[in-house]
């Protein structure tokens, strides 16, 4: 539904933008478009988190009251390796990450905005995970082997694939 509404609003916006006296209506139309973009961004980000099995990891990262991360079920190096394998697959197969409805958007500007915002969330979670694993108090042995990519390297790899 959000894609349909956004495409309709995009068509109206492009037609109305030709007329100077429509500026106040264009502003309202833009605000409604932004709301639909927010909806699609939320859907895309939720899909990324689910497909990468990041939900439980993110929940654990938010609740630091259980002691060292390495001792918490779900934060074992093998589980984190599983996440990294999925992340590497996502980077090498970018189309696997996008919801089908995102490709139906008329505006490439809208599509790129949704992708960027969703991947910014993914990078923020990864940065938090990276800092947690590399924090000495979380008792991970050889953290550089568990999460070898820095958040900056991940950002660069995602930018190469998705922000062309």
Between CA 32 and CA 126 the distance in angstroms is 31
CA distances from 112 to 12, 66, 108, 119, 128 (A): 20, 38, 6, 10, 24
Between CA 72 and CA 77 the distance in angstroms is 11
pLDDT in tens, 94-134: 778 899 999 999 999 999 999 999 999 999 999 999 999 99
Token duo for residue 155: 């950002």
Contact criterion met (CB below 8 Å) for 61 and 87: no
What confidence score (pLDDT) does residue 5 get? Answer: 98
3-state secondary structure of 1: coil
Between CA 138 and CA 123 the distance in angstroms is 21
State in words which class domain 34-162 has: mainly alpha
Other CB atoms within 10 Å distance of the CB of residue 114? 26
Question: What band does 64 get if pLDDT is binned at 50, 70 and 90?
Answer: confident
Domain boundaries, the chain: 34-162
Residue with tokens 């953290």: 143
List of residues 6+ apart from 150 with CB closer than 8 A: 130
pLDDT in tens, 3-33: 999 999 999 999 999 999 999 999 999 999 9
């Amino acid at each position: 539904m959000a894609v349909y509404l956004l495409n309709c609003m995009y068509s109206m916006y492009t037609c109305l933008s030709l007329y100077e006296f429509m500026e106040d209506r264009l502003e309202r139309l833009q605000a409604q478009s932004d709301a639909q973009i927010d909806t699609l961004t939320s859907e895309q980000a939720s899909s990324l988190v689910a497909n990468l099995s990041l939900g439980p990891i993110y929940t654990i990262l938010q609740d630091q009251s259980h002691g060292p991360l390495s001792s918490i079920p779900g934060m074992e190096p093998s589980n984190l390796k599983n996440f990294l394998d999925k992340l590497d697959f996502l980077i090498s197969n970018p189309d696997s990450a996008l919801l089908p409805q995102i490709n139906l958007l008329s505006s490439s500007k809208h599509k790129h905005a949704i992708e960027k915002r969703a991947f910014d969330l993914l990078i923020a979670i990864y940065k938090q995970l990276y800092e947690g694993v590399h924090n000495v108090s979380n008792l991970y042995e050889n953290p550089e082997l568990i999460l070898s990519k820095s958040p900056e390297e991940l950002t660069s790899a995602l930018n190469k694939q998705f922000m062309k």
